[in-house]
């Protein structure tokens, strides 16, 4: 059987910037993958290439065997490719419930707004926003908006869920809740690619970690091995510090 998602030589150039360079990647069904990399490494751009927001300058994106390199975002959504936005994108004047209904109606399986309403309510309960259902999305706090993004993408009945820093800005107890939630989503059979800066989250959830640096994939493997990889340490800390840490590898992995 073909991989769920397969990228071959995917590159994206913005003017003079190579945001993503020749990325090769296979994602199997049921995986939870952490995608890390310093600021500006190209993580969000990679998500945009997978979900049809940007079109790759070179290479191909395959999803469930089909070539989807040229797909439009709404086609990606209907195929089961859902993503959350790093910078949250609610429909501000709609209620929280209506925001989630949109996902259910247009990408999920709901045939009518009435069915979507029921469905959306369940997703809101799941992310802990049930009590806010009828309030306008614009008045939610940032952590609640992150959860709204998550509920909206769950309502899209995804096969592959790309979470772009859903936990940024959450406090410790909120993060514990989020970890729980992501685990339960994975348990439902959704494949997850998780973009995170918080190593605690990446290490506790991921079965496999990818590291992007200046647009290129420089590491791909089990979390521990990746974190101890000298090239990864170098990408994060710079060559001089990496050389110093190389003498104390255990300390480097804690960084």
For Mg ion, the binding residues (CB under 5 A) are: 43-44, 86
Select the residue interacting with another protein from 11, 44, 45, 51 (CB under 8 A). Answer: 51
Kindly state the smallest distance separating residue 74's Cβ from another protein, in Å.
Answer: 5
Select the residue interacting with another protein from 55, 72, 224, 244 (CB under 8 A). Answer: 72
Kindly state the smallest distance separating residue 88's Cβ from another protein, in Å.
Answer: 9
Please give the Cα distance from 255 to 102 (Å, whole number): 41
Select the residue interacting with another protein from 32, 102, 120, 175 (CB under 8 A). Answer: 102
Kindly state the smallest distance separating residue 37's Cβ from another protein, in Å.
Answer: 22
Rounded to the nearest 10°, the torsion over CA 163, 168, 170, 172 is 90
Q: State the residues that interact with ligand ATP by CB under 6 A.
A: 14, 17, 19, 37, 39-45, 86
Q: At what angle do helices 142-155 and 96-106 cross, to 10 degrees?
A: 30
Cβ nearer to ligand ATP, comparing 39 with 247: 39
Please give the Cα distance from 82 to 103 (Å, whole number): 9
Residues 77-96 that bind another protein (CB under 8 A): 77-78, 83, 85, 89-94
- Nearest by Cα to 187 from 7, 32, 25: 32
Cβ nearer to ligand ATP, comparing 17 with 255: 17
Cβ nearer to ligand ATP, comparing 37 with 80: 37
Q: Is residue 219 packed enough to be buried (19+ CB in 10 Å), middle (13-18) or exposed (0-12)? A: buried
Cβ nearer to ligand ATP, comparing 6 with 165: 165
Cβ nearer to ligand ATP, comparing 54 with 79: 54
Please give the Cα distance from 106 to 102 (Å, whole number): 6
186 binds another protein (CB under 8 A): no
Residue 241 contact, options Mg ion, ligand ATP, another protein, none, Cβ 5-8 Å cut-off depending on partner type: none
Site residues (vs another protein, CB under 8 A): 51, 53, 72-74, 77-78, 83, 85, 89-94, 98, 101-103, 105-107, 112-113, 152, 156
């Amino acid at each position: 059987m073909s991989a769920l998602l397969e990228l071959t030589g995917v590159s994206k150039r913005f003017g003079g910037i190579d945001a993503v360079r020749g990325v090769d990647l296979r994602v199997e069904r049921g995986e939870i993958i952490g995608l890390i990399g310093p600021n500006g490494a190209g993580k969000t751009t990679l998500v945009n290439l997978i979900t049809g927001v940007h079109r790759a300058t070179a290479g191909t994106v395959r999803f469930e065997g089909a070539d989807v390199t040229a797909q439009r975002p709404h086609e990606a959504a209907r195929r089961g490719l859902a993503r959350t936005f790093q910078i949250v994108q609610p429909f501000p004047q709609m209620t929280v419930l209506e925001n989630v209904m949109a996902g259910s109606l247009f990408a999920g399986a709901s045939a009518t707004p009435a069915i979507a309403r029921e469905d959306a309510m369940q997703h809101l309960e799941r992310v802990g926003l049930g009590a806010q259902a009828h309030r306008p999305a614009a008045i939610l706090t940032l952590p609640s908006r992150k959860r709204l993004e998550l509920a909206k993408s769950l309502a899209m009945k995804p096969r592959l869920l790309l979470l772009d820093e859903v936990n940024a800005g959450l406090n410790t107890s909120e993060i514990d809740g989020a970890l729980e939630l992501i685990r339960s989503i994975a348990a439902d059979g959704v494949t997850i690619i998780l973009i995170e800066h918080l190593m605690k989250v990446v290490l506790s959830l991921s079965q496999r970690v990818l590291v992007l640096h200046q647009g290129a994939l420089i590491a791909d493997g089990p979390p521990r091995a990746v974190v101890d990889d000298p090239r990864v340490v170098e990408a994060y800390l710079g060559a001089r510090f990496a050389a110093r840490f190389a003498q104390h590898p255990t300390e480097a992995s804690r960084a």
